[in-house]
Amino acid sequence: MTEPATTTLTEPALRTAPKVLLHDHLDGGLRPGTVLELADACGYRLPAGTEPELARWFRDSADSGSLERYLETFAHTVAVMQTPDGLERVARECVLDLAADGVVYAEVRFAPEQHLERGLDLDSVVEHVLEGFRSGESAVEASGAQPIRVRLLLTAMRHAARSREIAELTVRFRDRGVVGFDIAGAEAGYPPSRHLDAFEYMRAANAHFTIHAGEAFGLPSIHEAIAFCGTDRLGHGVRIVDDITVAEDGTATLGLLANYVRDKRIPLELCPSSNVQTGAVDTLERHPFDLLARLRFRVTVNTDNRLMSDTTMSKEMMRLVETFGYGWSDLERFTINAMKSAFLPFDQRLELIDNVIKPGYAVLIG
Ligand SMILES: O=c1[nH]cnc2c1ncn2[C@H]1C[C@H](O)[C@@H](CO)O1
Ligand SMILES: [Zn+2]
């Protein structure tokens, strides 16, 4: 009897592998064609008039080397997500696009406070997005494709002052598809401890949250997110590498904070392409992903903003494969890391690991 052969690791093969996505912004993942159509419908002026031009505009503008300038591009996606139809369509297409890429579980986030410009209130903004998710999930199921589960995280903008309200909104919707809370936006000058009462509220409610930290700003921001705010996960957290010294012979020495993050298995939501675009790292080759993976940090692979980075989960994984030489077993480990770190109840995480992820990679590994 011949051994089953290992499937060659190509991008099309990777699209068939079960993938888990923890860090993806709803307003960073629109289809360029949808941005154009929605802008047309509401009379909003965009910086480009055709799909390829607009796709390129987002990617090039996001390639700025600065988080602040990267974030400016979101004005154009947020502008077309102000109506029930706009929100539902974007949410539905997000689910369809992730499913087509082989994602089996995703936590997608957005900031409801940015979608009130045309009279919607916070609760209805969330309801429309959840409706779009449900519609997308049903369409995937009806098509006979591999099912996908998509849950929502609610983000508060760190420069604003609505985090407590958004934390309460998260808890209000906890049984209807919202599984966690986050803060995002420019990091420098807006430390996570500014939003302490929101995090204390979440902890008192036994509810989950993640914090964008250690992206544009270094260790102090990660320290605050963990020690003062009690975050469950780190959004990016890539600058934890500043607390690791690597000697010429390759031996790594971890500082107190890096040790704590590794000991406590605090998940790192790493977003390789986005990190290069915002200047959090110089190049993909110099991304600490591989060092952190070898040191057995709880690393996960994420897209951050599929439109701005012109990426997908399969592309992000393929870039890591090409840069660091990973094989199927590594990708399976990163996927299981992500599933273990999801804000779903434990039994559902286990079920996806045992019944979907492991069997999926077993076929590919051969
Ligand atoms: O990588 C990021 N860092 C900080 N903030 C971000 C990042 N990507 C997107 N955002 C912001 C811009 C969006 O409008 C907001 C909510 O999704 O979150
Ligand atoms: Zn992000």
* pLDDT tens digit sequence for 296-323: 999 999 999 999 999 999 999 999 999 9
* pLDDT higher than threshold 90 for residue 78: yes
- Whether 308 is in the pocket of ligand 1, judged by its Cβ within 6 Å, is no
- The pick from 23, 25, 158, 195 for probing ligand 1's pocket by mutation, whose C-beta has the most ligand atoms within 8 angstroms, reads 25
DSSP string covering 97-133: HHHHTTEEEEEEEE-GGGS-TTS--HHHHHHHHHHHH
Which of the four pLDDT bands, split at 50, 70 and 90, describes residue 188?
A: confident
E strand or H helix that includes residue 234 = strand 233-236
In the numeric block, which tokens belong to residue 55?
A: 């796709």
Query: In b/e form, how buried is each residue of 147-180, taking b as 16+ CB within 10 angstroms?
Result: ebbbbbbbbbbbebebbbebbbbbbebeeebbbb
Residue 302 in contact with residue 90, Cβ under 8 Å?
Answer: no
Q: What is the pTM of this model?
A: 0.98
Catalytic site includes residue 68: no
Distance CA 171, CA 202 (A): 8
195 in a labelled binding site: no
What pLDDT does residue 1 have?
60
Task: Look up residue 144 and give its DSSP letter.
Answer: T
- Whether 115 is in the pocket of ligand 1, judged by its Cβ within 6 Å, is no
What is the predicted ipTM?
A: 0.99
What pLDDT does residue 140 have?
98
In angstroms, what CA-CA distances link 211 with 197, 267, 292?
A: 14, 11, 19
- Smallest CA-to-CA distance from 37 within 74, 89, 108, 72 is with 89
59-68, 119-128, 249-258, 301-310, range with the lowest pLDDT:
59-68
Q: SS3 for 226?
A: helix
Residue 129 in contact with residue 117, Cβ under 8 Å?
Answer: no
Distance CA 28, CA 75 (A): 10
- Whether 110 is in the pocket of ligand 1, judged by its Cβ within 6 Å, is yes
Which of the four pLDDT bands, split at 50, 70 and 90, describes residue 200?
A: very high
* pLDDT tens digit sequence for 129-178: 999 999 999 999 999 999 999 999 999 999 999 999 999 999 999 999 99
Residue 96 in contact with residue 14, Cβ under 8 Å?
Answer: no
